Structure 1
Amino acid sequence: MRTSFFSVLGFFASFGLTLAVSAQQSSTSIPPTPPTGAPWSYYGHTGPSNWGRLDPAYSACAKGKLQSPIDIRNPKLNKALPPIEFHYVSGPVNLVNTGHTIRVNVTPGGYIVVGGARYELIEFHFHHPAEDLVNGKLSDMVIDLVHKNAAGELAIIAVRLNEGQDNGALAALWPSLPKTAGATTSIDATFNPLGLLPSDRSYWSYVGSITVPPCTEGVHWLSMQNPADISQDQLQTFGRLYPDNAHPLQATHGRKIEASQ
């Protein structure tokens, strides 16, 4: 099966993607574990190889054909892919240690427009190491910026991080990383997620899934072609909290992967 979001603009509407979120969280974030779902982890009997057996709601983790992450290999240039329009806002942020990652809940009001569709930025979070491969190569980390439209459909912008220079945007967050599961911290100073993005915002596009249970499919992934830097110290700081919180590679099943200019 070959699937392209931009060639089938009605895909999300026909798919009817739904999110298992609580009433409190539905407007702000994807919870690390759905309220009625079984506990899961990245290790052992509750790890990724068993997610699909932990709860019937997680069946897509084992049986889905549009799962993420994938190896982004030989993407096809599509000159018709529109640029992503970023309209992020500055403001305070809240950091949450979910027990699976660090999630940053942003000041409401930021959004992107892609293919004529508007998606509100609701949160971003981190995986160490990165999840998608690029021509078989894995980056040190990835930032996933999660956006949702009025129908609850997701567009996730992935920014890969490779060891290099100190990352100024992360430097504003790292001193406030909550150290224990369930802990939260706040940064009252203004933070703009735009600073997380590389200057060249060309991207790869494919249809996939969220990378944690329930592994819901129909997610529009927009992966920045150019990675950003992160220093060794910054990598080690996050790695002490989450040494391995990445979903293993999934089969592409013939999905179309397109590249913008």
Structure 2
Amino acid sequence: MGRDYYSAAGNEILNNGHTIQVNFRPGSTMSLNGHTYELKQFHFHAPSENQIKGESFPLEVHLVHADKEGNLAVVGIMFKEGAENKALTKAWNQMPEQKNAKQALSQVINAEDMLPSDKAYYRFNGSLTTPPCSEGVTWLVMKEPVTVSKEQVEQFTKVMGTHTNRPVQPLNARPVLQ
């Protein structure tokens, strides 16, 4: 997975009533098997929607990418409780508390800063985790979690008012590639 994430790409944060989302200007891309996907947005779920070796995490971020034909690739990153996450702090400082509220970001948010130092990932084909839950999404779930403070998770869950995750789905016949 090659990436070319521009540091000034995150330009807007919004509360859509289901999650907190950071939208990106065009230009940040990821390549996978010679195919280019553009980063559109990232958003959060608490607790995590994916598990690693049966373990759930207090928070997960999804970096949503689309190619020119509309095919989606999502990078999932798990957060484990620990030190404050500096990349999240930038977003959380401007987190809209009201549903359907949005604002321009005053600080640069770089998607690269969300990624763990070890870039190994699991890959599988799945679906969107929010309606319409369309199939055909390429998922890349990072094997190594990053840290988030208990206070940062609490801030997110307080603003959202409830859990924001889709329950873990059965694997069915989907192979998970390592």
What TM-score range do you get, normalising by the shorter chain?
Answer: over 0.9
Q: Which has the higher strand share?
A: 2
Pairing partner for 1:173 from 91, 116, 127: 91
Listed one character per residue, the Cα deviations across residues 100-145 of structure 1 (whole Å, up to 9, x for unaligned) are 1111101321000111110000000000000011222101110000
| C-alpha contact 1:106 1:123 (8 A) present in aligned 2 | yes
| C-alpha contact 1:89 1:107 (8 A) present in aligned 2 | no
Aligned residue in 2 for 1:254: 173
Within 5 A, what are the aligned runs for 1:148-187? 148-187=66-105
RMSD: 1.0
1:245 match: secondary structure: coil
Aligned residue in 1 for 2:130: 212
1:176 match: secondary structure: coil
Listed one character per residue, the Cα deviations across residues 57-91 of structure 1 (whole Å, up to 9, x for unaligned) are xxxxxxxxxxxxxxxxxxxxxxxxxxx11100021
Q: What TM-score comes out, normalization by structure 2 length?
A: 0.96
- Partner Cα separation in structure 2 for residue 160 and residue 152 of structure 1: 25
Pairing partner for 1:134 from 41, 49, 52: 52
| C-alpha contact 1:90 1:107 (8 A) present in aligned 2 | no
Structure 1: 5+ residue runs without aligned partners? 1-83
2:119 match: secondary structure: coil
Within 5 A, what are the aligned runs for 1:227-246? 227-242=145-160, 243-246=162-165
**1:191 Cα shift?**
2.0
| C-alpha contact 2:87 2:113 (8 A) present in aligned 1 | yes
Aligned residue in 2 for 1:191: 109
AA of the residue aligned to 1:87:
D
Structure 2: 5+ residue runs without aligned partners? none
Q: Which has the higher helix share?
A: 1
Q: RCO higher in 1 or 2 (8 Å CA, sep ≥ 6)?
A: 1
1:205 match: secondary structure: strand
- Partner Cα separation in structure 1 for residue 25 and residue 116 of structure 2: 21
| Matched-pair identity in % | 35
> How many aligned positions are there?
176
1:254 match: secondary structure: coil
- Partner Cα separation in structure 1 for residue 174 and residue 25 of structure 2: 34
